[in-house]
Amino acid sequence: MPNVVVVGAQWGDEGKGKIVDIYSRQAEVVVRFQGGNNAGHTLVVEGEKIILHHIPSGILHEGKLCVIGNGVVADPGILLDELSRLAERGRNVTPDVLMISENTHVITPVHKKLDMAREAKASPEKKIGTTGRGIGPCYEDKASRRGIRMADLIDPEKLRERMKILLEEKNALLTCYYDEEPLDLEEVLAELNPQGAKLAPFVTNTTVKMQQWVEDGRNILFEGAQGALLDIDHGTYPFVTSSNTVSGNAGPGTGVGPGALENIIGITKAYATRVGAGPFPTELDCETGDRLRNQGAEFGSTTGRPRRCGWLDLVALKHAAHLNGLTGLAVTKIDVLGGVGEIKVCVAYELDGKRIEHLPGQTDQIANVKPIYETLPGWEADISKMTELDQLPAEVHTLLARIEKAIGKPVVLASIGPGREQTLEISSPYAT
């Protein structure tokens, strides 16, 4: 049976957590391959909302192996808090079911302090809307070969040595450039050492295990964070996240070759949202945008920030489909469009008086495009309790068909509400 990669096809917040939860039923291994705790995957199980930031959504299923891959940057305090909250819900997570790569980079207090200081110092037009969780500074240290990894965190002597070097540089930056107080090495170690001791049983060489599971033919589900349009190389730079969010990073983010990435499912809402700064061609700064936000509960699961809302952008979606090599698409929050009236989808842009049907390569160009819309009929019915695809109004089928035509790939799943049971699976990526 094939391996499956699940990625966001917009600016994040597309509902990946729910889709990973659904597909986890057929997977044996669920692995997160990039991002940090700035991503919150929200699931609703038996009416209870559960938000996961680091741990793969598959942890809610018995008998699944879950992995935090080397491409992730992890906040040990947040991770331990997540484990504690799962235990309170009766899900006691042990090293037998959760493994953390020894090469996963660690978000430390200095990363978070730098993140906030940098955003505070930036002028309004230069702010990128960071969550302040330290993800960017941690990835910077990874690229500059100064990072602290899980293998360092669980070794007090190595941690002291590497943290001392890191603080010498970061404290100079904090005090001299950002006019902030320096961090004390002993205080930082007093916070990190107990966290390392608690996480040590979970830390292992997951690369070797992943490669063996691929050879053994196990079903592996690769879970991404954020969305394709926030990719550091292919997104709306600099208003992006600090990692490669596209499906191709599932290999280097876990230690397997590209041949292991078979079915690639992109997730899109039936409309569009974005959190933070950056261009958003179809944004609705009007009553309709407010309705989508309120009906769709569009507030960040990590920060609580209201999301910007707009019509579905098929140009950007097609771009994401190509970047990820999608084999299928899951469409979420279709129910939110009920009662909106006529529905618009962006099919092209106008830039400098010319019609274009591709996403421009430069962010300032994206900020200046005017969306060209196609109008589709809306529906009034509440579809959230429908249990069969053929029960959906004809107008919903029209919308899904228009999406398929735009990206040239089939819609394989339709989500009509937040609950597990509010999911209509058209075809399974695990079908043999």
Contact 57, 44 (CB under 8 A): no
pLDDT given at position 43: 62
Read off the pLDDT of residues 34-73 as tens digits, 9 standing for 90 and up: 998 876 666 666 666 777 889 988 888 888 999 999 999 9
Cα dist from 335 to 254, 401, 412, whole Å: 35, 16, 17
- Residues 293/290/38/251 CA torsion (nearest 10 deg): 60
Query: Rounded mean pLDDT of the chain?
Result: 92
CA 292 to chain centre: 21
Give this prediction's pTM: 0.92
The pLDDT assigned to 271 comes to 98
pLDDT of residue 89: 84
Rounded-to-integer distance, Cα 35 and Cα 112, Å: 15
Per-residue pLDDT of the chain (432 residues; tens, 9 = 90+): 589 999 999 999 998 888 988 998 899 999 999 998 876 666 666 666 777 889 988 888 888 999 999 999 999 999 999 999 899 888 889 999 999 999 999 999 999 999 999 888 766 666 566 677 899 999 999 999 999 999 999 999 999 999 999 999 999 999 999 999 999 999 999 999 999 999 999 999 999 999 999 999 999 999 999 999 999 999 999 999 999 999 999 999 999 999 999 999 999 999 999 988 899 999 999 999 999 999 999 987 666 789 999 999 999 999 999 999 999 999 999 999 999 999 999 999 999 999 999 999 999 999 999 999 999 999 999 999 999 999 999 999 999 999 999 999 999 999 999 988 899 999 888 765
Cis check: omega of the bond before 238, within 30 degrees of 0: yes
CB 226 within 8 A of CB 35: yes
pLDDT at residue 302, as a whole number: 62
Structure confidence at residue 38 (pLDDT): 73
Residue environment code for 301-325, b if the CB has 16+ CB neighbours within 10 A, otherwise e: bbbeeebbbbbbbbbbbbbbbebbb
Residue 242, judged by CB atoms within 10 A of its CB (0-12, 13-18, 19+), counts as: buried
HSE-up (13 A, CA, CB side) for residue 98: 23
The set of catalytic residues is 13, 41
For the chain, helix, strand, coil in percent to 5 are 35, 20, 40
Q: 110 to each of 142, 177, 247, 354, how far by Cα in Å? A: 14, 15, 30, 47
Tell me how many degrees the CA angle 142-144-150 measures, rounded to the nearest 5. Answer: 25
